[in-house]
Amino acid sequence: MTLNNSIISFDIGGTWLRACLLDEKGEIRFHSKKPSINYLNNPSLTATILQSRLVEYIISEVGIISKSNGTQVDTVVISMGAAINGQNGMVLNSGPLWGPNCEPFDLSSSLKAFMPMISWHVYNDISASLMCHVFKHGYVNKKACLITISTGIGMRIYDPHSKSIPCGRETGLQGEIGHLPTNFNFFGKLLDLKCDCGGSNHLNAFSSGRGVENILKKISRNMIDCSGSSLKWPVTLPELKNGLDNEDQLSNQIIAMIVKPITDSILWILTIDPLIDVIFITGGLYEYLNKYYSSELMQQLEFVGLYQTSEYHPSFFKDKLLFSDSVQNAGLLGASYCWLTKEQIKVY
C-alpha cells in the first residue's frame, strides 16, 4: 500500500474502538485500542447520546494522533461495525453499538461539522475486512467471500469482474446474514432470543459472540445431562473453551450446536453462488475458539456435503475455506484499501 500522505484510520466495533496513523508506506505508526462505547456498557445512555459520544471520541482521537505525530492529516477513513447504505454512506443501524432502538445516523456529516477541513470516509467493517483479505492473499482477480463471526455475524462477496462489492439498489446493503431468522435447537428445545437490533431469533442472537454468551447464560443443570462434564456453573465462554481444552463431551455438544447455523449458511452461499473461489472465515468468536471452531465447521460441512459436488471432490471444502486470524488490523488496513480503490472499486 502506498499513500500520498499519512491518513488516520478507525475500526469501530461493538467491543473495541481502534485507531491508527498510516504513513505514506501504509505502515502503522500509531495505534490505540479502547473499549467500545456501546449500549451494554452504558445502559443509561440513549442511542442518540451514544452516537454523539462516538463522534466525540473520533474527533478527540484525531487530535491526539495528529498532535502526537506532528502530522497534518486531511483524510480519515472509518471501518464501521454497522449496516451502511452503500449509495450514500448513511449508517442505517448498529445494534451491537447502539441497541435495538437506534435510528439511522449520518456519521460523516456529524464529523464534518466539527472538522470540515478533513475528508471523511465511512465503510462497513466487513467490506473493509474483505478488501484487506483480497489484497493480502492475492485474490484481486478472484471471486472472494468473507464471513465474520464476532460480536455480530455478516458476509460480503467481492466480484472481480466489476471490481466491486455489489450492494442493493434499494438500501445499499449486501450480506447481512446475521439478521436472517433461524430456528435454533438447543438440546431438543427451540430457543427464543432477541438480536441486538431488536429482531427475534436472528442468526446473530445465537451464533455470534454475544449470542453464544446469551445461550450459555440459559444453561442450567436441570436442563441437560451434565453428568461427567467438567463445566463449571454458570457456564461462561472461557469455561466453554476450558471444557474444549479438556475434551469435555458437553462442551463439544454445545459448540456443535453453535456452529451448525454457520454450516447451513455456507452451504446456501455455495449452492447459490458456485463461482466463489474462497470463503474467508474471520472474527473474534472464531479466533477465540480457533481450532475447535474450524474443526467443528469442517466436520459438519463434510458430513452434510454439497449436493453432487463434494462427494466427487473430497477436498472441496478444504479448498474453498480459508480460516484467517493472520491479517492483523484488517479493519484499519481494509478501510484504507477501500479508500485507495474508491475510484476503481466501489466498496461499501
**Mean per-residue pLDDT, 130-157:** 93
Q: Give 297-333 pLDDT, tens digit per residue.
A: 999 999 999 999 999 999 999 999 999 865 678 889 9
Task: Record the pTM.
Answer: 0.88
- List, for residues 248-305, the tens digit of each pLDDT value: 999 999 999 999 999 999 999 999 999 999 999 999 899 999 999 999 999 999 999 9
Whole-angstrom distance, CA of residue 22 vs CA of residue 37:
24
For residues 83-107, give the mean pLDDT.
86
Amino acid at 76: V
Q: Assess whether 38 and 175 both reside in one domain.
A: no
Mean pLDDT of 11-29: 86
Within 63-204, strands assigned E span 75-80, 83-84, 91-93, 119-124, 144-149, 153-158, 185-186, 189-190
List the beta strands (DSSP E) in 231-327: 278-282, 321-323
343 confidence band (pLDDT: 50, 70, 90): very low
Q: Are residues 151 and 25 in the same domain?
A: no
Q: Alpha carbon of 332 to those of 88, 110, 116, 298, 346: distances in Å? A: 21, 21, 22, 29, 18
Write down the pLDDT at residue 2.
Answer: 67
Query: In whole angstroms, what is the distance from residue 150 CA to residue 197 CA?
Result: 15
Q: Kindly report the number of other CB atoms within 10 A of residue 247's CB atom.
A: 9
* Residue 294 C-alpha from the chain's centroid: 17
103 lies in the same domain as 45? yes
How many domains is the chain built from? Answer: 2
Listed residue (46, 62, 164) closest to 105, CA to CA:
46
Mean pLDDT value across residues 77-102:
86
Judge whether 345 lies within some domain.
no
Q: 250 lies in a domain? A: yes
Residues 277 and 172 grouped into a single domain: yes
- Say yes or no to pLDDT of 10 above 50: yes
Asked if 68 and 204 sit in the same domain, the reply is: no
Phi-psi region of 80 (alpha: psi -120 to 50; beta: other; left: phi over 0): beta
**Structural domain of residue 93, as residue ranges?**
7-131+329-340
* Residues 312 and 336 occupy one common structural domain: no
